[in-house]
Structure 1
Amino acid sequence: MATADQVKALVKSHAEGDNSRFYTVALQVAAGAARNGQNRFAQDLRDLVDSLRVQENSRRVTPVVSVAQPRGELAQLLTVSYPDLVLADLVLEQSVRARLDRVLLEQRQGDRLRSHGYLPMRRLLLTGPPGTGKTMSAHVLAGELRLPLFQVRLDGLITKFMGETAAKLRLIFDALSETRGVYLFDEIDALAGERGSSNDVGEIRRVLNSFLQFLEMDQSDSLIVAATNHPHLLDRAIFRRFDTVIDYPLPSPEIARQVVRNRLANVPVGRLEWSKLSAEIEGLSHGEIAIASDLAAKEVILSGAKQVTTASLRAALRERRGHVS
């Protein structure tokens, strides 16, 4: 059954109208019930959460955007999707979650802030190792705010003719003003590497300067999300152009356990000996842990085994660590 802390979290999230947090805690209660053999209750609770999410999404109205699909040259520069993810779908360190919560709050209360002469945060730089949730966070921001997600295709943006790259950047920033959305510049270090590096050339510096100027001049209502696995490669000036920089660390032991529990929620799980799993989990990202957990879950389904065991999960984690290495 639910712990005292979980009951308090359920009541607090309900009082604050934080549906995402409410659903997260409810799913944690369901996972705990499943581990204690209360499978029927766990499944009923998961079904209830899914039903409430569907009802909530049906009440949301997706705003009409002026461009449903990028056309012309923009089609070579942007891909668009309409994510339905919410913050509760991500397992993140509390510090990262709090920063994203703040961005969402300021976006939702943007008119209130503007009435006092302030602007909501809308330029985010996400840094951290691969697989820690940076790109997924852009999907969640779009899903929570019911906005389209436009992903910038760097392969179409960066050409051998740097003048063309600057012109294409202008097209993207024009689109930001015309169509409100979340615009994701993934692997931004390819575009905003440090000036003066040993392999730098004048044209590359000019492209970076253009990017910095476009960021500075942009007055749109769109969110700009830039992500990098290598923040040390970024030009120092880029950090000043963003409203906030959010660092995504590798998961703590507790977060790693939560990732495993969430991924194994739909299959029987034996009593896991975390002391034996910690060495295999340490150093892996959220994404790698999720892949290994999925592998262990599918093995139970396909082999007809009774449950995921410490040994089977440990083997899946070890296999994934070998791929990473």
Structure 2
Amino acid sequence: MARSDLVKALLRNHQRGDDAGFQRAAKELIDDERRKRHDLVAEQLEAILEEPGRTRRPLQVSSLRPLPKTRDDLPLISLEESRLSFQDLVLAESAVEVFDSLVDEFRQRSALRAHGVSPRSSLLLVGPPGCGKSASAEAVAGQLGLPIAKVQLATVVSSYLGETARNLEQIFSFLDVGSWVLVFDEFDMLGRERSDRADHGELRRVVAAMLQVVDDHRGDSLFVATSNHPALLDTAVWRRFDEIIEIEAPDHSARYEILELKLRSVRHDFDICDAATKMGEFSAAEVEAVALDAIRLMVRQLDKCVNSEHIAYAISRGEARRQIIQRSLA
């Protein structure tokens, strides 16, 4: 393609909000500079293209190809923009270090590949429900400025013979174009132990195909799977991911930090340490819900700050919700 055509393609795709098309045109322009032995210019353009602070236009689904759907016309994925960063989460330092290294590798993937090394691109997050696995996946996307493609497992797994594998094929074919953070929440629904007698042959074949997809996944996207029940995962699943991170239930210090983080926008006058102690078994999501409930009560009562009565009420509501769930699951 002539240089003038490449510049036109860049501007046209930028105007349309077609990020994938913009990326393709930009990479062609970089390749053109390399062919002309303008290596310094090519490296500078590549650095700009992968710059973490690069402003992205809001995701415009209308400018993308039609979303993959089931034979019953149900969407297999949903597309979202992340507003989260790791500054919005309270995670163990060890987990943050691994997330930071993955983000850095993705930003420097061209340099890594030039040295014959692939960046880690598949990640498995395990841990109890409500402790920040899905939010961590969103934070990765937010840090990188990438759109999120969330797989709708309820529609992917089909009762029609051969349809589940076809659905997965559609998803990965769609995501071949552009860069994404592909999120498979509750991955254990697909990746559970293949010897599970409750499983049928179709799903076992899908698991085998899915594991191969994880093995082959070396594109410009990140594959993130989450599991609330890692013990159910097929033993082969663990080996197929480039990285595994455990998101643990919050300890007292983490609960304290979550309360402070969620109450940072309002005045508060109560013993946060005591409140964190009273929520000894709460997940991160439940602690966040307590903070938000306390703020709602403050607003309803026309008070100026969150006080001990507000937080006590919110904790009691949190306990009540936990008991309802426990009774329902018993």
Please tell me the TM-score bracket, short chain as reference: 0.7 to 0.9
For the residues of structure 2 that align with 1:285 and 1:171, how far apart are their CA atoms? 35
Match of 1:110 in 2: 109
For the residues of structure 1 that align with 2:137 and 2:57, how far apart are their CA atoms? 17
Per the normalisation by structure 2, the TM-score is 0.75
Match of 2:302 in 1: 304
CA positional deviation for 1:268: 2.2
Q: Which moved more, 1:306-315 or 1:129-138?
A: 306-315
Match of 1:44 in 2: none
User: Could you report, residue by residue, the CA deviation over 1:163-206 in whole angstroms, capped at 9, with x for unpaired residues?
Assistant: 11001111112223223201001111111110111312222211
Contact 1:96 1:248 in 2 (8 A): yes
Instruction: Tell me if 1:97 matches 2:88.
Output: no
SS of aligned partner of 2:191: coil
Match of 1:295 in 2: 293
For the residues of structure 2 that align with 1:282 and 1:101, how far apart are their CA atoms? 29
Per the normalisation by structure 1, the TM-score is 0.76
- Unpaired segments of 5 or more residues in structure 2? 1-50, 324-330
Match of 1:165 in 2: 164
Match of 2:149 in 1: 150
For the residues of structure 2 that align with 1:238 and 1:63, how far apart are their CA atoms? 34
Instruction: Tell me if 1:71 matches 2:56.
Output: no
For the residues of structure 2 that align with 1:130 and 1:59, how far apart are their CA atoms? 33
Contact 2:68 2:174 in 1 (8 A): no
Mark the CA change 1:65 to 1:101 in structure 2 (over 3 Å): closer, same or farther. farther
SS of aligned partner of 2:103: helix
Mark the CA change 1:57 to 1:300 in structure 2 (over 3 Å): closer, same or farther. farther
Mark the CA change 1:91 to 1:232 in structure 2 (over 3 Å): closer, same or farther. same
CA positional deviation for 1:72: 5.1
Match of 2:86 in 1: 87
Q: Which moved more, 1:58-67 or 1:105-114?
A: 58-67
Contact 1:280 1:318 in 2 (8 A): no
For the residues of structure 1 that align with 2:166 and 2:129, how far apart are their CA atoms? 30
For the residues of structure 1 that align with 2:129 and 2:196, how far apart are their CA atoms? 24
For the residues of structure 2 that align with 1:260 and 1:139, how far apart are their CA atoms? 20
Q: Which amino acid aligns with 2:107?
A: R
Match of 1:47 in 2: none
Asked which structure has the greater CA Rg, the reply is 2
For the residues of structure 2 that align with 1:79 and 1:57, how far apart are their CA atoms? 24
Number of aligned residue pairs: 269
User: Could you report, residue by residue, the CA deviation over 1:292-319 in whole angstroms, capped at 9, with x for unpaired residues?
Assistant: 1111112112212343233431331122
CA positional deviation for 1:148: 1.1
For the residues of structure 2 that align with 1:118 and 1:161, how far apart are their CA atoms? 40
User: Could you report, residue by residue, the CA deviation over 1:49-71 in whole angstroms, capped at 9, with x for unpaired residues?
Assistant: xxxxxxx9986245999984451
Percent identity over paired residues: 32
Match of 2:182 in 1: 183
SS of aligned partner of 1:246: strand
SS of aligned partner of 1:322: helix
User: Could you report, residue by residue, the CA deviation over 1:197-230 in whole angstroms, capped at 9, with x for unpaired residues?
Assistant: 1312222211111111222223321100001111
Mark the CA change 1:268 to 1:73 in structure 2 (over 3 Å): closer, same or farther. closer
CA positional deviation for 1:122: 1.0
SS of aligned partner of 1:187: coil
For the residues of structure 1 that align with 2:56 and 2:104, how far apart are their CA atoms? 18
CA positional deviation for 1:274: 2.1
Matching residue within 294, 311, 314 for 1:313:
311
For the residues of structure 1 that align with 2:278 and 2:239, how far apart are their CA atoms? 38
Q: Which moved more, 1:254-263 or 1:171-180?
A: 171-180
Match of 1:200 in 2: 199
Q: What do you get for the CA RMSD once the two structures are aligned? A: 2.4
SS of aligned partner of 2:238: helix
Following TM superposition, the consecutive aligned residue runs of length 4 or more in structure 1 with deviations greater than 4 angstroms are 56-59, 62-70
For the residues of structure 2 that align with 1:189 and 1:77, how far apart are their CA atoms? 17
For the residues of structure 2 that align with 1:279 and 1:258, how far apart are their CA atoms? 12
